[in-house]
Amino acid sequence: MTAAEIRASLIDLLRTIAPELEPSELNPAEPLRNQVDLDSMDWLNFLVAVHERLKVDIPESDYGKLATLEDLVAYLARKR
């Protein structure tokens, strides 16, 4: 899976939680949760969906490294 494919999957999953999300308005280098207004429950649901789709279980201790969409894409590319 390429980085572009991972990014597309993540945006797809984010839109199941935040249907109003416009991918073109998302800055991949800015903190994701602020931009998409994800609360703790949304974030947890997003990570559950990531696990189901991409088969990567992100430990809680790594949450701090995953502020932006870019961080997530790079992390998942390494873990897959």
Partner 1 sequence: MIQFKLPSLGADMEQGKLLEWKVKPGDPVKRGQVVAVVDTSKAAVEVESWHEGTVLELVAGPGETIAVGAVMATLLEAGEDAATAPRYQRPEKAAPAAAPAVEKAAPAAAPTAAATRKHISPAARKRARELGVDPERIEGSGPHGAVTLEDVERAAAKPAAPPADRYSSMRAAIAAAMSRSKREIPHYYVAETIPMQRASEWLARENAGRPVSERMLVGALQLKAVALALRKYPELNGFWREGAFRAGAGIHVGVAISIRQGGLIAPAIHDVDRKALPQLMRALADLVKRARAGSLRSSEMSDPTVTVTNLGDQGVEAVFGVIYPPQVALVGFGRLAARPWAEGDTVRPMPLVTASLSADHRVSDGHRGARFLAELRELLQRPETL
**Residues of this chain that bind partner 1 (CB under 8 A):** 18-20, 37, 39-41, 44-45, 47-48, 51, 57-61
Residue 36: CB minimum distance to partner 1, A:
10
Question: What is the smallest separation between the CB atom of 61 and partner 1, expressed in angstroms?
Answer: 7
Q: Which is nearer to partner 1, 2 or 19 (CB)?
A: 19
Compute how many other C-beta atoms are within 10 angstroms of the C-beta atom of residue 61.
7
Residue number with CB closer to partner 1 (9 or 45): 45
Q: Is 16 helix (H, G, I), strand (E, B) or coil?
A: helix
Tell me how far apart the 2 most distant CA atoms of the chain are, in Å. Answer: 30
The kind and range of the H/E element at 76 are: helix 69-79
